[in-house]
A and B are shown apart, each in its own frame.
Chain A
Amino acid sequence: MKVVSIAFNTFRENLRDKLLYNLLIFALLMIGSSLILMRLTLGEFHRLILDIGLGSINFFGTLIAIFVGIGLVSKEIEKKTIYTIVSKPVARYQFLLGKYLGLSLTLLINTAIMAAGLLAVLYFQDVPVYAVLFKALGMIVLEFMVITAVALLFSTFSSATLSAIFTLAIYVIGHLTPDLKAFSQKMEGVGRSVLEGMYYILPNLDRFNLKGNVTHQLDVPAGDLLMIAAYGLIYTAFLLMLASVIFQQRDFR
């Protein structure tokens, strides 16, 4: 109950944040712009719309996850609003979980709006829609959940600016982990161990990217999908637990 109240309060906070609307409008404009770009391209219209559409949803959703996510906790500490929450009969992990779920809800609804925009464009251009598109959208939401958890983890012990830098770094590296592994194979000794360690510890965000499957209309087997979902959820749970442990130790000065 307490977690749900905090989640809805966070959701309401997000809804009254102008940043969210700006990003959402940009995302919808980007999706719409594929209609103009289409006229400049020869053939492959469908692919272009899907590519730009999914890319925009992913990019703007990530921006929301990072820039709203880093403020989830650090803003509460800076503005001292957390004093009134932690002094109530609310455990600190409940606070964190509530904040996390609130932003996840915002991201889910945002993604739904952006997806509706994309579907509208696809509908008006008579592009056939396959089930794999919805699977890809589901995986995008899952990726947002992992990124939000990363942002939340950093914001429990560092400032908003540092958290943004760290989370962006994790996001970029997270999409390059296959390269990290390939690179580690070419090294020896300590360097190899470090890179391999990074490969296993950092989130492999590229796993959530099913854009290729959508544009090429290649379905993803349910087993694979389940594995990716399990990976995302377990990774998120691990991040949230780590964030709770750190947050539990903190003094709010």
Chain B
Amino acid sequence: MDLCDEQVVKINQLHKVFHVGFWGRRVTAVDGLSFEVQRGEVFGFLGPNGAGKTTTIKMLMGLIYPTGGTATLFGRPVGDQVAKAKVGFLPESPYFYDYLTGREFLRFYGHLFGLLGSALDKRIDELLELVGMTHARDLQLRKFSKGMLQRVGIAQALINDPELVILDEPMSGLDPIGRKEVRDLILRLKESGKTVMFSSHILHDAELLCDRVAMIMKGKLVACGHVSELIAGDTTNEVEMVIDRLLPEALERIKPLTGKVVFQGERVMVMLSSQQAVDQALDVIRSAKAKLVALTPHKASLEDLFIRKATGAQQPVEARL
């Protein structure tokens, strides 16, 4: 297959400038953003609140027009009806027609894709079951809880059996069970061959789910690539060691090996950044007859990368693909 076919979403030098307030002050929401989403992957679109994630997604969905740059879905310019027919979209904290019942709601969105009759009814039943909402099909949306709305929102995004599913903050405002359910659903979508792009500021979820991520700060891309590569290239692996009954002179011998010592009552916690330092510290503990309580490898996470990037957001780094 041609490589171009593999790129479901392609964003090139996308810009968006808003004019706010009475005097039309210029605010750059998205600043020269470029990245691609490949077919069949789960792509995380990460960044702090106000980084421009929702604005970018809105540009992809034709809700906002870019000031500059281009964006394509399935090789077609955004807003193209053919491309839209292959996309499912869940907006951020969605609001729906609360006077509709679950079933009426899905039927309405089905009609917008030209779906009709018994085929649509069957699809609606399948989707309500998929998101665990069969019991609420005849209940008006105004009586739904936030978690229920999110689920029925995901169901409407899937009504057309889309090839690409774009979810804006799908986990926000959900309890841990709800979040896990959304994660499972995303993985199930991936298994059935769909491409999923979702935005989030909850990095843990992204780390668990994503094949690749793009991280943006202040509308600029600061990192993009496979999660494992981004983390591996970011920090060295540190080890956290907790020691009990450590005598002061033994501590003095350990101090040069570590950058950080924290006292927790009788216990001492030290951070060690190399295998050699760990070995030496263990020797000291054995000889001083202290007790090793815990030895935890401090795995680098997306969060470390995120925080480091956030501090240096003024200087975006080269995208690493």
Rounded to whole angstroms, the CA-CA distance of A88 and B111 in the bound complex is: 10
Interface pair A9/B108, CB less than 8 Å apart:
yes
Given A87-B84, A251-B63, A251-B64: A81 and B96 within 8 A (CB)?
A: yes
Q: Does A253 contact B (CB under 8 A)?
A: yes
A83 cross-chain contacts in B, Cβ below 8 A: 58, 61, 63, 89, 91, 94
In the complex, per-residue mask of B79-110: 1 if CB is within 8 Å of any chain A CB, else 0: 00110110101010111110110001000110
Fill in one digit per residue for B24-38: 1 if any A CB lies within 8 Å of its CB, else 0: 000000000000000
Given contacts A81-B96, A81-B97, contact A88 B112 (CB under 8 A): yes
Asked if B65 is an interface residue, CB under 8 A from chain A, the answer is yes
In the complex, which residues 66-98 of chain A have their Cβ closer than 8 Å to any Cβ of chain B?
Answer: 79-91
* CB nearest neighbor in A for B60: A87
A84 touching B91, Cβ below 8 Å: yes
- CB-nearest residue of chain B relative to A85? B112
B62 within 8 A of A: yes
Which residues in A have their C-beta under 8 angstroms from that of B64? 251-253
A1 at the interface (CB under 8 A from B): yes
Q: Which residues of B contact A2 (CB under 8 A)?
A: 111-112, 114
The one of B62, B113, B156 in contact with A86, judged by C-beta atoms closer than 8 angstroms, is B62
A1 to B63 alpha-carbon distance, docked (Å): 22
Give the residue name and chain of the A residue nearest to B29 (CB).
Answer: A253
Report which of A12, A80, A87 forms a contact with B62, defined as CB distance below 8 A: A87
Bound together, the chains give a CA A16 to CA B100 distance in angstroms of 9
Interface extent on A, as a size class? 20 to 34
- The residues of A that contact B94 with a CB separation of less than 8 Å are 80, 83-84
Chain B min CB distance to A131 (Å):
39
CB distance from B316 to the nearest CB of A (A): 24
Q: B111 touches which one: A1, A16, A79, A86 (CB < 8 A)?
A: A1
Given contacts A84-B94, A252-B63, contact A90 B100 (CB under 8 A): no
Residues on B with beta carbons closer than 8 Å to the beta carbon of A82: 63
Q: A9-B108, A81-B95, A83-B63 are in contact. Are A88 and B114 (CB under 8 A)?
A: no
Expressed in whole angstroms, the Cα–Cα distance for A85 and B45 within the complex equals 23
Query: How far is it, in angstroms, between the C-alpha of A251 and the C-alpha of B85 when the chains are bound?
Result: 21
A88/B84 in contact, CB under 8 A: yes
A13 to chain B: closest residue by CB: B99
Residue of A nearest to B108 (CB): A9
What residues of A have a CB within 8 angstroms of the CB of B97 in the complex?
9, 13, 81
- Is the CB of A5 closer than 8 A to any CB of chain B? yes
A87 and B65 contact, Cβ closer than 8 Å, known pairs A13-B97, A80-B95, A81-B95: no
In the complex, what distance in Å separates the CA atom of A5 from the CA atom of B104? 11
Docked CA distance A1–B116 (Å) = 10
Q: How far is the CB of A96 from chain B (nearest CB, A)?
A: 14
Contact between A90 and B112, CB atoms less than 8 A apart: yes
Residues on A with C-beta less than 8 A from B113 are 88-89
Q: Are B111 and A87 in contact (CB under 8 A)?
A: no
Q: Is the CB of A86 within 8 A of B108?
A: no
Q: A5 to B62, Cβ gap below 8 A?
A: no
Minimal beta-carbon separation of B139 from chain A (angstroms): 14
The smallest beta-carbon distance between A18 and chain B, in angstroms, is: 11
Chain B residue at minimal CB-CB distance from A9? B108
Chain A residues, CB < 8 A from B100: 9, 12
Q: Across the two chains, which residue of chain B brings its CB closest to A94? A: B112
Known: A9-B97, A91-B81. A252 touches B109 (CB 8 A): no
Shortest Cβ gap from B302 to chain A (Å): 28
- Chain B min CB distance to A160 (Å): 16
A252 to B59, CA, bound (A): 10
Residues of A within 8 A of B (CB): 1-2, 5-6, 9, 12-13, 16-17, 79-91, 249, 251-253
Closest 10 A-B residue pairs measured CB to CB? A5-B111, A87-B61, A16-B99, A83-B91, A89-B84, A87-B89, A252-B63, A88-B112, A89-B81, A251-B64
Report 19 cross-chain contacts, Cβ distance below 8 Å, ordered by A residue. A5-B111, A5-B112, A12-B99, A12-B104, A13-B97, A81-B95, A81-B96, A83-B91, A84-B96, A84-B156, A86-B62, A87-B62, A87-B63, A87-B84, A88-B84, A88-B109, A88-B113, A89-B84, A251-B18
B residues apposed to A, CB below 8 Å? 18, 58, 61-65, 81-82, 84-85, 87, 89, 91, 93-97, 99-100, 104, 108-109, 111-114, 153, 156
